[in-house]
Structure 1
Amino acid sequence: MLNVHSFESLGTYDGPGIRLVVFLQGCAFKCLYCANPDTISFKGGTPTPLDEVMRKARNQRPFFGKLGGVTISGGEPLWQAAELKKLFKQLKEEDFNTCIDTNGNVLNDDVKELISNTDLVLLDIKHINPDLHVKLTGKRNDTTLKFAKHLRDENIRIWMRYVLVPGYSDQPEYLHEMGKHFQEYGNIEKLEIQPYHKLGVHKYEHLKWEYKLEGVPENTTEQLETAKNILSQYFKEVIIN
């Protein structure tokens, strides 16, 4: 049984091709810019049998083509790895493409078994500096970096994602540091720079939460290009989403 926040059919943003995206409930990070703050709490969500997810995947399979498949997102899906590993084993037995969108903040035996049946990881790196990572998310990045190393050791494909928040995660010295840290990871196929946006602000109002980046402007074209030019020195492919 998975605790599901919502489903998205025919998704084109969370991995290759057309995908069924399953958003799980609960995340230990509290990213200041989170666009889906309603997925943070571990309370709520809908208990959903694995058979129901498999049914949806089979029904949508005609739309997936050669590249598409199933992506598990969140919240943070790795907190439900004990159940997810069973789901991904079933999906691989039926030859579905499997993808996880994660911040990598959980690494245990269940996660390692789950990863063994995962085709692609969309890895959200919030910041390379542990103190600034705490400022952005409330947690350190130690486990995330260990998780990334495990993916490298197991040669699991990674598409890395990085949200560029003005004044918080766009410092050139730390972009260089991040690039140097990951430049030898041959399993990282590309890095996607995610421009900072405020599309989820209305959800904070609904939850009666304070949005703490109220005065932070969205990125300028120059800021995005500067970051891309720096990171392109270290990664095979860098794109701005």
Structure 2
Amino acid sequence: MATPAAAVLERTGRAVTGSVHSWDLSTGVDGPGTRFTVFLSGCPLQCLYCQNPDTMRMRNGRRTTADAIVAEAAKYRTFIDAAGGGATISGGEPLLQPVFAGELFHRFKHELGLHTALDTSGFLGVRATDALLADVDLVLLDIKSWEPDLYRRLTGQPLRPTLDFARRLAGLGKAVWVRFVLVPGLTDGAANVGGVADFAASLGNVERVDVLPFHKLGRAKWEGLGKRFPLEATPSPTPARVEEARARFRAAGLHAV
């Protein structure tokens, strides 16, 4: 079966490229094991607590071919296999570049034999074809809020597309890890946490929930772009508050860390 990029190459005579911010080797944050993680540029969300605001605009990335990225990942294949890892496409928002992302997933999985993960907000889930998702072993799905008004305040976009995508993944039986950022005074309300927990539990395909404490490590990147970090005055949650949120997810029958 031809990959998305191969089809375009046959039609136009040009290899598909994507806007890539960077790539890195990571452990424990982008899926199981040690991961080769590609960060694509461009994102339709404008999250107040974004830790990588330098990935928001696609034009700030570097045009790169899929061949170059796959060749880079291949250098670490033996190490990644030994560490029980794989390859993750993150961002930005990978589904802003679905053909490029789909090509990478296909080649990571079928040429390199790597476990694959998609790190996404789900807002552009309609752009993920069934063929793309067939080459994804795990979806890391950010559900930023259960309350629609708060979600729009946090991201500038509506919540429903993310929930629709989550339900679609459940229908496909696709493994999902939910990510939820706990922000004091914003996302940490009992009703909001409980709403995300109950929704995630209703899906039947959520293997894990990462409750991520809000932090300000990305502040320097905002300042480097000449912008003020929007949540400058917001503190990080206390360990007790984080554990309370995790307990709510566990009470819904989910594995929360």
Q: TM range, normalised to the smaller chain?
A: over 0.9
Answer yes or no: is 1:236 the counterpart of 2:233.
Answer: no
1:148 is the counterpart of 2:166: yes
Superposed CA deviations along residues 122-146 of structure 1, whole A, max 9, x for unmatched, are 1111101111001111111111111
Output the TM-score relative to the length of structure 2: 0.89
Q: Partner residue of 1:44?
A: 60
- Give the drift of 1:150: 1.0
- The AA in structure 1 aligned to 2:193 is L
Q: SS of the counterpart of 1:159?
A: strand
Counterpart CA distance in 2 for 1:158 and 1:83 is: 22
Percent identity of equivalent pairs? 38
> Are 1:74 and 2:91 counterparts?
yes
Q: Is contact 1:82-1:110 (8 Å) kept?
A: no
Report the equivalent of 1:225.
Answer: 243
Write the deviation string for residues 202-234 of structure 1: whole angstroms up to 9, x where unpaired.
111111112221111111122112111212111
Shift of 1:12: 3.9
Identify which range, 153-162 or 224-233, moves more after superposition.
224-233
In 2, Cα distance between equivalents of 1:191 and 1:110: 22
Please name the residue that 1:209 is paired with. Answer: 227
1:35 counterpart (51, 72, 88): 51
Which stretch of the first structure deviates more once superposed, 84-93 or 140-149?
84-93
Partners of 1:212 and 1:124 lie apart in 2 by: 19
Letter of the aligned partner of 1:229 in structure 2? A
Map of 2:72 onto structure 1: 56
Count of aligned pairs? 239
- Higher helix content, 1 or 2: 2
Instruction: Establish whether residue 139 from structure 1 lines up as the match of residue 157 from structure 2.
Output: yes
CA distance in 1, matches of 2:96, 2:186: 26
CA distance change for structure 1 residues 112 and 105 in 2, over 3 Å: closer, same or farther? Answer: farther
Letter of the 2:33 partner, please give it.
G
C-alpha change, 1:109 and 1:220, in structure 2 (3 Å) is closer
Partners of 1:69 and 1:193 in 2: how far apart? 22
Matched, 1:65 2:88: no
Q: Are residue 103 (structure 1) and residue 121 (structure 2) matched?
A: yes
1:1-32, Cα deviation, whole Å (9 max, x unpaired): 12100010354421111111100001011110
Does the CA-based 8 Å contact 2:178-2:200 persist in structure 1? no
Q: Distance in 2 between matches of 1:98 and 1:19?
A: 9
Query: Contact conserved, 2:81 with 2:114, CA < 8 A, in 1?
Result: no
Q: Deviations for 1:64-95, whole angstroms, at most 9, x for unmatched residues? A: 12521110000000111122212222222222
Deviation at 1:99, TM superposition (A): 0.7
Please give the TM-score of this superposition, normalised by the length of structure 1.
0.95
What is the RMSD computed on CA atoms of the aligned residues?
1.4
**2: distance between equivalents of 1:143 and 1:91?**
27
Match of 1:8 in 2: 24
Q: In 1, distance between residues paired with 2:92 and 2:34?
A: 21
Unaligned runs of 5+ in 2: 1-16
> Which ranges of structure 1 fall in alignment gaps of 5 or more residues?
none
Question: 2: distance between equivalents of 1:82 and 1:238?
Answer: 33
1: CA distance, partners of 2:236 / 2:145: 18
Greater shift in the superposed pair: 10-19 or 200-209: 10-19
**Whole-Å Cα distance in 2 between the matches of residues 57 and 92 of structure 1?**
11
